[in-house]
Copies of this chain bind each other. A is one copy, B any other.
Amino acid sequence: MIVILKDQEKREQIDLLVEWLGKQGVSVQATEGAHRTILGLIGDTSHIDIDLLRALEIVEDVKRVQEPYKKANRKFHPKDTVVRIGDVEIGGDSFAVIAGPCSVESEAQLSAVAEAVKGAGAGLLRGGAFKPRTSPYAFQGLRAEGIRMLLEAKRRTGLPIVTELMDPSQIPLFEEVDVIQIGARNMQNFELLKEVGALRKPILLKRGLSSTLQEFVMSAEYIMAGGNEQVILCERGIRTFETATRNTLDLSAIPALRQMTHLPIIVDPSHATGYARFVAPMALAAVAAGANGLMIEVHNDPSAALCDGPQSLPPDAFSDLMKRVNAVRSALL
């Protein structure tokens, strides 16, 4: 950590600061420039509050040299983490596609979609049972009943299931769920992160709508600090001023996160763009940018459904996309 002091500060105040830093267990090396003094802090600075230092009267700025995350840090764990779910692997050189309906609506619907996505080559089945909705008057999901239907679909198709957990009190229902999803709006619900950190099953963590990549990795670190190191990161779009898409999919997050962390990185183009017609180009772009997998919404009956999810693909479009995904992957090997 580097502390840049303001011009012409009094010797006495600087000494006080150096003394205080010493008590925090770090040693200090001062560099005196023409106009100002710079303190280099040597030792473990992970417990020093950077905002606090920055706010001191005599401090101009503070610069962290070491990243605040450890378990998720690629520097300390250069090898890619590979999360294994049954026969499926996510991370490293493997690639997996998670597909399914936005919400679980009925056994018939889920069964139809599950068969379709399995046939097209998806490795995992997704479906929302607990639904985060901005309106209290909107459908909140089938909840416990939805989890039951997902487990039934898992038994029938053999596909492992991924579904969202919204509150620690729901954990008992998730015992047979293969991958627990933490949604974008809960990315910094720290109490929930601690709870799933105490579990021993894969967690799919979605990036918050306006979180930086460092905050995203820090939320993964929360889970890992509890001992659960099977975290999958999912980029799903950030909020910007643009209105032509629901969110702005940040694909540069893939190479940037790759450098920061060893955790697997997947992309959800369905929620990011909000329109079915943008899903295929962005899914292919994610593959080309090096994603370890995709999460895609698929609905069941395109001919009958006047009103299926706006961002969901019908099964045939999904099947066609899978072929193109594989072609791009092969081209880049």
Assess whether A328 is interfacial by the CB under 8 Å rule: yes
Identify which of A55-63, A80-88, A147-155 touches chain B: A55-63
* A-B pairs with beta carbons under 8 Å apart, 22 shown: A2-B38, A16-B306, A38-B65, A46-B135, A51-B311, A55-B274, A55-B275, A56-B307, A134-B218, A135-B218, A136-B193, A136-B218, A166-B189, A185-B189, A212-B242, A212-B244, A240-B241, A251-B282, A252-B278, A281-B288, A284-B332, A287-B288
6 smallest CB-CB distances across A and B, nearest first, come from A55-B310, A210-B210, A331-B331, A288-B288, A167-B191, A285-B289
| In the complex with contacts A35-B66, A134-B188, A242-B251 CB distance below 8 A | no
How far is B306's CA from A169's CA once the two chains are assembled, in angstroms?
42
How far is B254's CA from A277's CA once the two chains are assembled, in angstroms?
12
Interface residues on A, range: 35 or more
Q: Add 18 more A-B contacts to A38-B65, A136-B197, A328-B331 (CB < 8 A).
A: A2-B63, A20-B306, A20-B307, A53-B307, A56-B307, A60-B65, A68-B137, A134-B218, A136-B218, A136-B221, A136-B222, A167-B192, A210-B239, A238-B242, A239-B241, A252-B272, A252-B278, A285-B286
How far is B29's CA from A2's CA once the two chains are assembled, in angstroms?
14
Shortest A51–chain B CB gap in Å is 5
A213 touches B225 (CB 8 A): no
15-48 of chain A: CB within 8 A of chain B: 16-17, 20, 29, 31, 33-36, 38, 40, 42-43, 46-47
Which residues on B sit within 8 Å (CB–CB) of A65?
A: 4, 33, 36, 38, 60-61
Residues of A bordering B, CB below 8 Å: 2, 4, 7, 16-17, 20, 29, 31, 33-36, 38, 40, 42-43, 46-47, 49, 51-56, 60-61, 63, 65-66, 68, 75, 132-138, 166-169, 185-186, 188-194, 197, 209-210, 212-215, 218-219, 221-222, 225-226, 238-246, 248-256, 259-260, 272-278, 281-282, 284-290, 306-311, 324, 327-328, 330-332
| In the complex with contacts A288-B285, A309-B55, A332-B284, A166-B185 CB distance below 8 A | no
Which residues on B sit within 8 Å (CB–CB) of A289?
A: 281-282, 284-285
Number of copies: 4
Which residues on B sit within 8 Å (CB–CB) of A330?
A: 331
Which residues on B sit within 8 Å (CB–CB) of A134?
A: 188, 215, 218-219
Shortest A53–chain B CB gap in Å is 7
How far is B68's CA from A290's CA once the two chains are assembled, in angstroms?
37
Name the CB-closest residue of B to A326. B331
Which of these, B241, B253, B274, B284, contacts A241 with CB under 8 Å?
A: B241
